[in-house]
Amino acid sequence: EPEVTQTPSHQVTQMGQEVILRCVPISNHLYFYWYRQILGQKVEFLVSFYNNEISEKSEIFDDQFSVERPDGSNFTLKIRSTKLEDSAMYFCASTAGWSRSTDTQYFGPGTRLTVL
Amino acid sequence: QKEVEQNSGPLSVPEGAIASLNCTYSDRGSQSFFWYRQYSGKSPELIMFIYSNGDKEDGRFTAQLNKASQYVSLLIRDSQPSDSATYLCAVDAGNMLTFGGGTRLMVKP
């Protein structure tokens, strides 16, 4: 069964460093998403991406965040200068489309980001 | 601000019983509703989705939607210890999902 994959599973970084989280969405999917979940809190939407551009972004997704689809398979989230409060689980998700029959989002296993 | 509310629990049920999980949402324009299961430290795993008022059954799971009351529920029949997890209600908010905080379910043998 096709699945979303993410690497690395765990990333430890120093405050102020740049990190890149990687995702490979399901191959025939067209919409891609990043969510985060701080320990013990809700899953929060960060950004959606379609046709090589951002469709929606939340207030969390400020100038230190960026997303990119550098090739036909990878989808990346970059955090330019990490802060302690960026420590969270980051989930990538994808969906085939945005109609009732295709809008189900499938989540990857997540990358746990720890900022020291 | 679009909100999705769930009782955090824990909801404790004996093995074999029916577990009933509830969710309310604020955006009356929402069209799609999802239930995800999340084990500790893992990613959300889709259980089922519902778009239309009424009930939708899939195996031991039944989702119920009442758009007039802005209410979604999930029933788990014949609950098993392996069903012990946090259940997340998610509502589409226009090309994104808004999640509730989840209800922790504990099924006791």
- pLDDT, one tens digit per residue, over A38-94 is 999 999 999 999 999 999 999 999 999 999 998 878 999 999 999 999 999 999 999
Radius of gyration from C-alpha coordinates of chain B: 13
Closest Cα partner for A106 from A116, A92, A88, A86?
A92
Distance from CA of B95 to the nearest CA of A (A): 7
> Taking every pair of C-alpha atoms in chain B, what is the biggest distance, in angstroms?
41
> Nearest-CA neighbor of A111 among A48, A39, A18, A22?
A22
Instruction: Give the closest of A44, A48, A91 to B43, CB-based.
Output: A91
pLDDT for B50 equals 94
Measure CB to CB from residue A56 to each of B90, B96, B100 and give the nearest one: B96
Say what the pLDDT of residue A36 is: 98
Query: What is the pLDDT of chain B when averaged over all its residues?
Result: 95
What whole-number distance in Å separates Cα of residue A36 and Cα of residue A24? 17
For the cut 80, the answer to whether the pLDDT of residue B72 exceeds it is yes
| B interface test, pick of A105, A106, A113, A114 with most B CB neighbours within 10 Å | A105
pLDDT, position B35: 97
Residue A100 has pLDDT above 70, yes or no: no
Residue whose C-alpha is closest to residue B102's, from B6, B35, B33 = B6
Strands B54-58 and A53-57 come out as unpaired
Q: Is residue A101 over pLDDT 70? A: no
Is B97 touching A (CB cutoff 8 A)?
yes
Q: Are B45 and A3 in contact (CB under 8 A)?
A: no
What is d(CA B40, CA B106) in angstroms, rounded to the nearest whole number? 13
Q: What is the mean pLDDT of residues B41-66?
A: 95
Looking at the DSSP assignment, which residues form a beta bridge with residue B51?
none
User: Is-contact A13 A19, C-beta < 8 A?
Assistant: yes
pLDDT class of A97 with cuts at 50, 70, 90: confident
Q: How many CB atoms lie within 10 A of CB A55?
A: 16
Of the pLDDT bands very low, low, confident and very high (cuts 50, 70, 90), residue B100 is very high
Mind telling me how many Å the CA of A62 is from chain B's nearest CA? 17
Count how many pairs of residues, chain A against chain B, have C-beta atoms within 8 Å: 53
| Residue at token pair 């929606």 | A56
Token representation of residue B74: 């999930």
How confident is the model over B49-71, as a mean pLDDT? 95
Per DSSP, the three-state class of B31 is coil
Write out pLDDT tens, residues B75-98: 999 999 999 999 999 998 777 899
Of chain A, the percentage scoring pLDDT greater than 70 comes to 97
Check if B68 contacts A (Cβ < 8 Å).
no
Whether A25 contacts chain B with CB within 8 A: no
